[in-house]
Amino acid sequence: MKNLLIVLSGPSGVGKGTIVKKLLQKGGFALSVSCTTRLPRAGEREGESYFFISKEQFEQKIDCGGFLEYSNHFENYYGTPRDFVEKQLEKTDVVLEIEVDGALQVKKSNPKALLIMILPPSEEELKARLLKRGSENEQTIARRISRMQYEISKKDSYDYTVVNDDLERAVEEILKIIANKKGDIK
């Protein structure tokens, strides 16, 4: 079967990045690299962290349909480059780790994309995870909790939801979903 475009999203702190790392370690997946108009941060590498492009280049790509999805946050654009993803899909399954609105844009233009929402065991557990990070203040955590409620309200637009209450179990569940979608499990 043709390679899959797999979109993972969910609230901040739910463990999306950790799940994606585990999937990549298991092999058979490529991670999409997004474009952004923001400046690189320390340690970020062109073509690995992001493709760093100018606002003018980004807007030209928008005009010619060059993104599967894109958004503007804090006066910077972020988007998934269509050509990069399509080239990767020729070789392997591709994982996108993007926010909910972007995921729904991808599904609209690519109905065969597999959308999986990662959910926390509870709002309280998510708040505890965000506090444990130690990287956000109470106000930021409150905004992330509010955003979580919006994101979870979109779960019925996804093909599957997976609760990340146990990392290894969640990864295995995602792998089974992907295998089922590809028709590998009989």
Q: What is the pLDDT of residue 92?
A: 95
**Tally of CB atoms within 10 A around 95:** 24
What's 137's DSSP letter?
-
Q: Which residue has the tokens 């997004």?
A: 34
HSE of 70 in the Cβ direction (CA atoms, 13 Å)? Answer: 22
Q: For the whole model, what pTM was predicted?
A: 0.87
Give 118's strand partners: 162
In this predicted structure, the answer to whether residue 59 has a pLDDT above a threshold of 80 is yes
In this predicted structure, the answer to whether residue 84 has a pLDDT above a threshold of 60 is yes
Q: To the nearest whole percent, how much of the chain has pLDDT over 90?
A: 68
pLDDT in tens, 127-183: 787 777 766 677 877 777 788 888 999 999 999 999 999 999 999 999 999 999 998
Burial class (CB in 10 A: 0-12, 13-18, 19+), 79: buried
Cα–Cα distance, 73 to 98 (Å, whole number): 13
